[in-house]
Structure 1
Amino acid sequence: MYELKVEGMSCGHCVSAVTKSVQAVDAGAKVEVDLPTQMVLVNSSASLENIKAAVVDAGYDVLASTER
């Protein structure tokens, strides 16, 4: 499980874009986005670096990330 602080998300479209970008790396990934806190929880077998790269490629800044 990974926790990412993602800057720039503000609406449902952003949630969808982040979710789809992560699931493009790992189709079975579970993604939870909390817009008010800008936190994204990802349960995935992909590496944290690949998950972060996917979010950045979708146009969002990853300010911090941790593995839980």
Structure 2
Amino acid sequence: MTTSTYTVVGMTCDHCAGSVRAEIGRLDGVSGVEVDLATGNVGVTSAAPLRDDDVKAAVEEAGYQLA
């Protein structure tokens, strides 16, 4: 298992966090996504390291940006 932390810009509510959680959770190998709305930090647990481009695309699909 691998855990990575990303910072997402623009989330302001639980709905925002849920959208980001859902999109990242769809990536292959992801087993958990924890969002800290106050800091914008998103912790992702996956079977193997994720490609940054894949995470970026998922966050952008949710309507936000990686810092």
TM-score of Structure 1 vs Structure 2, range by shorter chain: 0.7 to 0.9
The counterpart of 1:53, out of the listed 52, 57, 60, is 57
Instruction: Name structure 1 gaps, 5 residues minimum.
Output: 64-68
Could you say what secondary structure the match of 1:25 adopts? coil
Aligned residues: 63
Q: Tell me if structure 1 keeps the 8 A contact 2:30–2:44.
A: no
Q: TM-score, normalised by structure 2?
A: 0.79
State the shift of 1:12 in Å.
1.0
Structural RMSD (CA): 1.6
Partner of 1:21: 23
Q: Tell me if structure 2 keeps the 8 A contact 1:22–1:29.
A: no
Q: Percent identity?
A: 38
Instruction: Name structure 2 gaps, 5 residues minimum.
Output: none
Which has the larger displacement, 36-45 or 18-27?
18-27
Q: TM-score, normalised by structure 1?
A: 0.78
